[in-house]
A and B are shown apart, each in its own frame.
Chain A
Amino acid sequence: MLEFQNVSYKADDGYEILDDISFKIGSGFVAITGPNGSGKSTVARLISGIIKPTSGRILFGGGDITQSSVTDRAKMGISFGFQQPVRFKGITVYDLLTLAAGKDLTERDACKYLSAVGLCAKDYIDREANASLSGGELKRIEIAMIVARSTVFSVFDEPEAGIDLWSFNNLISIFKKLYDDTKGSVVIISHQERILKQAERIIVIADGRIQADGEGREVFKELTNPYGCRFYKGGAE
C-alpha cells in the first residue's frame, strides 16, 4: 500500500535525518520505534506530505506520491495524528470532527467518536479546541479525528504521549477497531512497550537508518534483550 524507495531527508542545516530508507507497509498494525532523534517523526511527516524527501520516492496504492501535496494525500486516504495537537481559537471540537469526517455529523456520531477516546462527549462537543483544553484532552480529540476519518492508511505519532490517566488498553482497542473497520494500515510511532507488544510488525529506526524490521514478537524480543540498547519505555515486567 505504502512504499518508501531509498528515501533520504536532510534538514535545512544539512544534517542527514534519514539516510536511504526503504520499506513497504501493507495492511495491518505496524509500529515504528527507535531512540529519540532517530528520525521516526520525520517518517510520519514524509508519509503525510508535510515535508518532501531530499531524494528517493514514496509510492501509495501503486502511484508515485513523492511530490503530492498534504491535501491530495489526505484525499487519497492518508491520515496523520500529530504528536503535538494544534489549538484553534473559535473552532469547536464538533467543528474539527465534522471537518475530519468530511461530512455533516449528527451530534450522536460526534459523541460516539469522543466516547471512544474516553471523553464524556457532552462536556466537550461545543468547546473550543483552544488553550482551555489540556494537552491530554487535545491529544484524545486528535485521535478521535483520525477515527472519524477512518481512512485506509493512518499514522499516529506517539499517540500515548500526554495520555497519562487513560488506559493503554483503550488506546490499543481503538487502533484495533480502526484496523477492523478499514482493513487498512494502522501505523503507530511509539516507544511504549505496551504498544510495541501488540504490533504485528515493528520497524526500528536509529541514526536515520532501519536497524530492524520484522514480525512484532521477534523484533520485540531483540529490543528487550538486556544486552541491547533499551530506548523503549515501560521497563521489564
Chain B
Amino acid sequence: MIFDSLNREQIGLLDEISDASVFKGDGAYNLRLDGHGVMRHNTDRINIVPRNDGQGIEVYVKPGTVGETVHIPVIISESGLKETVFNDFYIGEGCDVTVIAGCGIHNAGDLESMHSGVHSFSVGKNARVKYIEKHIGTGGRGKRSMNPTTSVMIEEGGFMEMNTVQIKGVDNASRMTRAVVKKGGTLVITEKIMTDGEQTAGTEFTVDLDGEDSCARVVSRSVARGRSKQLFVSDVRGNSRCSARTECDAIVMDEAGVSAIPKISANVPEASLVHEAAIGKIAGEQLVKLMTLGLTEKEAEEEIINGFLK
C-alpha cells in the first residue's frame, strides 16, 4: 500500500496521533489500518517484525541507539471492527528513543469499533524511552472503544516517560498499566483524559518499585463533562528504598462523576511514597478572575480546561 491511497479521515487521524508526513519519510514506522499492517519501514538500528499471527509487531531497538523515533499508529475506519493487538518493544542498553503510538477510530457506521492494544516494554539498562500515546475517536453513532494495556519492565538505571492523551470521541476506555522498576530506574507517567456525554473511562496503574533508589511519578489530569464517568485506580508498592508520587486531579462538570482510589504501600521503611488527589468543580474564584479580564463565563471555563489539560 502507498501513502497516497489513504483517505482524508485517515490522514486527519494520523496527523492528530503523530504526523502523517512521517509515512513518506525514511524513519522507522508501522501503520496498522483496519486490522492489517499496511506500511512498514525499518532503519539500520530499529527493526520492526510482524508477529506470525498477524496480530501485532515486535520492535527491536539496537543498544546505543540515540535520537530516533518510531511511529506505530493504528487507524480503524471500518465500523464494527474489533481487534486485540500485541506489540512488544525491546529497547537496548543505553538507548535514547521516542515511541509514538496511538489509535484513531473513525466510525461512520452504527456498530461498535474496538481496539485493544497490549504493549509490553523491556527498557534496557540505562536506556531512556519517551512513549507518547494519543487516542482519538470521530464519526457517527457507532461506539468507539479502546482498551490499552501496557506492561513495562525498567532495568537498572533505565528511564521511561509515558504520556497518554484521550481528549475526545472515545466512548469507552479501560486502561491498565503495570510496571516494575529496578535499581536506579525511573518511571514517569502523565495522563490526560476528557470525557463527555455518556462516555466512560477507567484507568488503573500498578507500579512495583523493586530496585533501590527507583522512582515513580504518576500524574493524572482529567475533565469529566456531560453524564460521563471516570475511575482512577493506582497501586504503587515500594518494595525497596525508593520514592514515588501519584497525583490525581479532576475537574467534574455538569452531571459527570469521577472516583479516585489511590493506594500506596511502603513494604520497607525506606520507601517514601506520596499521594495527592483533588476532585471537584472549577473553583469559582478562577472563573471570576478570568471574567474580570473580560472573558465570558463560558470562555473562562474553556480557558481553564484547556490549560488544565495542556
Contacts and interface: CB of A to CB of B under 8 A. Distances in A.
Interface of A: 48, 50, 69-71, 74-75, 79-80, 82, 84, 86, 88-92, 95, 99-100, 102, 145, 149
27 contacts: A50-B292, A69-B291, A70-B288, A70-B292, A71-B291, A71-B295, A71-B297, A74-B291, A74-B292, A80-B292, A82-B285, A84-B285, A86-B286, A86-B288, A88-B304, A88-B307, A89-B308, A90-B307, A91-B304, A91-B307, A91-B308, A92-B307, A95-B307, A99-B293, A99-B303, A102-B293, A102-B294
B167 interface: no
A91 B292 CA distance: 16
A86 B287 CA distance: 10
A100 B289 CA distance: 10
Contacts of B292: 48, 50, 70, 74, 79-80
B310 A99 contact: no
Interface of B: 221, 249, 283, 285-286, 288-297, 303-304, 306-310
Nearest to B297: A71
B310 A90 contact: yes
Choose among B221, B289, B292, B304 the residue with the greatest number of A CB atoms under 10 Å from its CB. B292
A82 B307 contact: no
Contact of B308 (A75, A90, A145): A90
A92 B303 CA distance: 11
A70 B293 CA distance: 9
A74 to B, nearest CB: 4
Contacts of A69: 291
A37 B285 CA distance: 20
Contacts, number: 57
Contacts of B296: 71
A187 B56 CA distance: 67
Of the listed residues A71, A74, A79, A149, the one surrounded by the most CB atoms of chain B closer than 10 A to its CB is A71
Contacts of A89: 221, 249, 307-308
Contacts of B288: 50, 70, 86
A89 B250 CA distance: 11
Contacts of B306: 90
Contacts of A50: 288, 292
A48 B249 CA distance: 30
Contacts of B297: 71
A107 B248 CA distance: 32
Contacts of A80: 292
A90 B286 contact: no
Contact of B291 (A70, A88, A90, A91): A70
Given A74-B293, A86-B289, A89-B308, 16 more contacts: A48-B292, A50-B288, A69-B291, A70-B291, A70-B292, A75-B294, A80-B292, A84-B285, A88-B304, A90-B309, A91-B308, A92-B307, A95-B303, A95-B307, A100-B293, A102-B294
